[in-house]
Amino acid sequence: MDYIKTYKSFINSHYLSEGVRITTGVVLPALAFSYFDMFQVGIVVSLGALFVSVTDSPGPIHHRKNGMVVCIAGILIATLVIGFAAKSPLLLAIFLFVGCFFFSMINIYGARAGSIGTAIMLVMTLTIDPRINLDTVDKVILHSTYMAFGGLWYMCFSMLLYNFRPYRLLQQALGEAIQETGKYLLIRAEFYKKEVNYENTFKQLLQQQATVQHKQVELTELLFKTRSIVKESTNIGRSLVMIHLDVGDIFERIMMSHQEYTLLHQYFDETDILEDYYQLGRELAYQLDDLGIAIKSGEPLKNNRNLNEQISKLTEKLDNLRLIYLKPDNIEGFISLRRILENIQDLAERLSTVQQYSNFKGSYKKRKIKDSDYKHLISSKEITPDLFFSNLTLKSDTFRHSLRVSIAIVVGFIVAFALNIGHSYWVLLTIIVILKPAFSLTKKRNGDRLAGTFAGVLIALAILYLAPNNNTLFTLLILFMAGGYTFMRTNYLISVLLMTVYLLIFYHLLNPNDFRILLTDRIIDTLIGSLIAFLASIFLFPSWERKKFKSEMVTMLSEVNEYFSVVVEAFSGKQIDPSTKQLARKNALVALANLSDAFNRMISEPKSQQQGVEVLHQFVVLNHMLTSYIATLAYYIHTQNIPYSSADFIEVSEDIRLYFTNAVSYLNGGNVGEKTISNKESLRKLNERVNHLLQKRKDELQQGLMETSTRKPLFDLKSIVDQFNLIYNVAVDLNKITQTLKIE
């Protein structure tokens, strides 16, 4: 591991910036008010800032601002309602149930709306703490006002930082997306190693592809919904747009490098040529990682990797190997190696272009950005009452989760009230942060919460025993606080550990005499909340992935069918509209990422809920291969003319689309149409043409003729026909899988 690179990447990451921003925004009010001997007021204001910061996730600046405004209003209303009902446990239980249901339901409007709901639920549960002492109307109003003021302060602080460095978040998000793309290439390079574990490598590849795709979607929304950046003429703004568009193309090129790796190893394992491909793939991945760090830090990339020289050496080595090792029975392997090398050369050229953009100096030819280049890539969700009311049914996962959260919160409130727990709101806070729509996420959060809490308690005890004075403790409190918020979105276990330490230090500084009671309450409350959340995820309207997986499969097949249909339009003499192809590709990759995520969640569920996992895993892997094959076909069509009459291609395309259509029909429980495919007649016609050229080329090689007029037509035609063969065979396999699932 390169620790210097890891350190530099972390220091310049959005997550560290976010942790520092939240910590500063939360601590400053407490310090300012304590200067005027109003420390208790400062704590309330800081809490308001803390809860509004939950909604300040990456996104277009107007979305962030609007989200914080709505959150501030929600906090004001929630604290007033809970404050006025504080004297009646029955009213509190009712308001908690209704409030938690409503604020869980607004998840249907997207992630930012969901974070607003979470923040307000946290405020509601915190406000029930009797030690806040809201026994008069004036105190309730004053407390609510301070909380709202804290939220308003944080919003102004966050907007001020944005205006000071408006491109910083974009650079960090773009750099992280590039680094994740590099990790994807690093995993794919493993296929060229001898004795590769295909199953484990494919598993890693599917997970990483989902990560990259999510990053790309988030970045697209962040970049293109901020119209000022797209429209402005500054070098840095336009460069960020162009880098993002080119990195999307680079990811597609990496995807299309998928090959029949087992055959390549059969052909070339006795040589060391595949090891060279492996090393060059790793160098490209490291170059992407270097580029991502450079963009995050805003510094020019110091390129110490001479990719062009390495590519030239590999080209020469491949040419020499061809002269001494090319035989009639391995000619297909050499065609694949040549195609892979061409793809690597294309990747290196695109990386070189992106490196020029990353200097932000504008000393390169500018690419004109039109609305048509990006409008089709961004999505929007209308916030309408109809969407809310249409989801008020047990068929809706959001509705079921909202009921689950509401009931669990009320149960936690009753248990805490009956047992007279000192910090009862910790039970409810634990339930809210642990209980997630998917069982697998709840399970993981539960484990992280318990492990992080116990580890944090031990570390806090050691610090309190060893720390010499309160000044040292306060410094450590700030550091642990910043660390907790830094890892909040990336590593919940570490985040909980650090937050537990800083909370215990904080309460110790407030009241050292109650520390042992506080320590006990923290552990007991966490255990109770974790147990209630875990039981609720199993017994209260459980949402198992296997019951939802079919809809993900149908979406996947529909989107990949659309992607294939757009690409093969070229064989009917039509020009492929770039924006249509981009949108179809994006939808297919998003569907694949969602499918992979759903499968990963499924394998974390109880064994009784994992029926047919092997078959479903095969379905996911086949779709990963399929999107790679279609992307490769799209590239071949773009870079060369179709080698001969397109009629046979059209016939094969129709058969492939029919396989997709039939597969969707099987999944939906229906019967296939009247037209079915009984053999591979359409594919046979294509293969006969290729085999004729291939046999001719083999005869030439047997006669010692290395360079002939057959070589180029064979290379071009076979590259395209191979993709049709691969797509066809995967479509057949997917059809068989869906028929099996229908029978089951």
Domain ranges of the chain: 1-164, 167-368, 400-543, 560-576+589-606+619-743
CA separation for the pair 594, 148 (Å, rounded): 37
Bigger pLDDT: 39 or 329?
Answer: 39
Of 24-33, 36-45, 605-614, 616-625, the least confident: 605-614
Q: Tell which phi-psi region holds residue 134, choosing left (phi > 0), alpha (psi between -120 and 50) or beta.
A: beta
Tell me what pLDDT residue 16 has: 86
Residue 310 has pLDDT above 90, yes or no: no
Residue-wise pLDDT tens digits, 448-499: 888 888 898 889 888 888 877 788 888 888 899 898 888 888 888 898 899 8
Spell out the residues 6+ positions from residue 535 whose beta carbon is closer than 8 angstroms to its own. Answer: none
Tell me what pLDDT residue 129 has: 76
Tell me what pLDDT residue 646 has: 63
Residue 365 phi, psi (nearest 5): -70, 125
Of 330-339, 448-457, 657-666, the least confident: 330-339
Of 174-178, 291-295, 544-548, the least confident: 544-548
Do 290 and 303 contact (CB within 8 A), yes or no? yes
Structure-token match 């149960």, residue found: 411
Q: Tell me the chain's radius of gyration from C-alpha atoms.
A: 29
* Per-residue CA distances from 247 to 119, 175, 253, 297 (Å): 35, 10, 10, 18
CA separation for the pair 488, 499 (Å, rounded): 9
Spell out the residues 6+ positions from residue 475 whose beta carbon is closer than 8 angstroms to its own. Answer: none
Query: What is the sign, positive or negative, of the torsion defined by CA atoms of 492, 222, 630, 732?
Result: positive
Over pLDDT 90: what percentage of the chain? 12
pTM: 0.82
Residue 138 has pLDDT above 90, yes or no: no
| Mean pLDDT of the region 40-56 | 90
Over pLDDT 70: what percentage of the chain? 87
CA separation for the pair 412, 420 (Å, rounded): 12
Residue 198 has pLDDT above 70, yes or no: yes
Name all contacts of 379-386 with Cβ < 8 Å and 24+ positions apart.
Answer: 379/221, 381/109, 381/110, 383/109, 383/113
| Mean pLDDT of the region 372-381 | 57
Of 90-104, 135-149, 185-199, 221-235, the least confident: 221-235
Confidence of residue 2 (pLDDT cuts 50, 70, 90): low
Residue 151 has pLDDT above 90, yes or no: yes
Spell out the residues 6+ positions from residue 320 whose beta carbon is closer than 8 angstroms to its own. Answer: none
Residue 155 has pLDDT above 90, yes or no: yes
Do 282 and 327 contact (CB within 8 A), yes or no? no
Tell me what pLDDT residue 243 has: 82
Of 242-256, 404-418, 506-520, the least confident: 506-520
Do 23 and 482 contact (CB within 8 A), yes or no? yes
Picking from 714, 732, 660, 585, the residue whose alpha carbon sits closest to that of residue 251 is 585
Tell me what pLDDT residue 149 has: 93
Do 526 and 453 contact (CB within 8 A), yes or no? yes
| Mean pLDDT of the region 135-161 | 90
Confidence of residue 674 (pLDDT cuts 50, 70, 90): very low
Query: H-helix or E-strand containing 192?
Result: none
Residue 63 has pLDDT above 60, yes or no: yes
Do 54 and 525 contact (CB within 8 A), yes or no? no
CA separation for the pair 150, 29 (Å, rounded): 8
Confidence of residue 703 (pLDDT cuts 50, 70, 90): low
Residue 742 has pLDDT above 80, yes or no: no
Secondary-structure class of domain 167-368 per CATH: mainly alpha
Of 126-140, 267-281, 656-670, 705-719, the least confident: 705-719
Confidence of residue 744 (pLDDT cuts 50, 70, 90): very low
Confidence of residue 227 (pLDDT cuts 50, 70, 90): low
| Mean pLDDT of the region 381-385 | 74
Q: Which two tokens stand for residue 446?
A: 């539960």
Tell me what pLDDT residue 743 has: 45
Spell out the residues 6+ positions from residue 450 whose beta carbon is closer than 8 angstroms to its own. Answer: 526, 527, 530
Rounded to the nearest integer, the mean pLDDT of the chain is 81
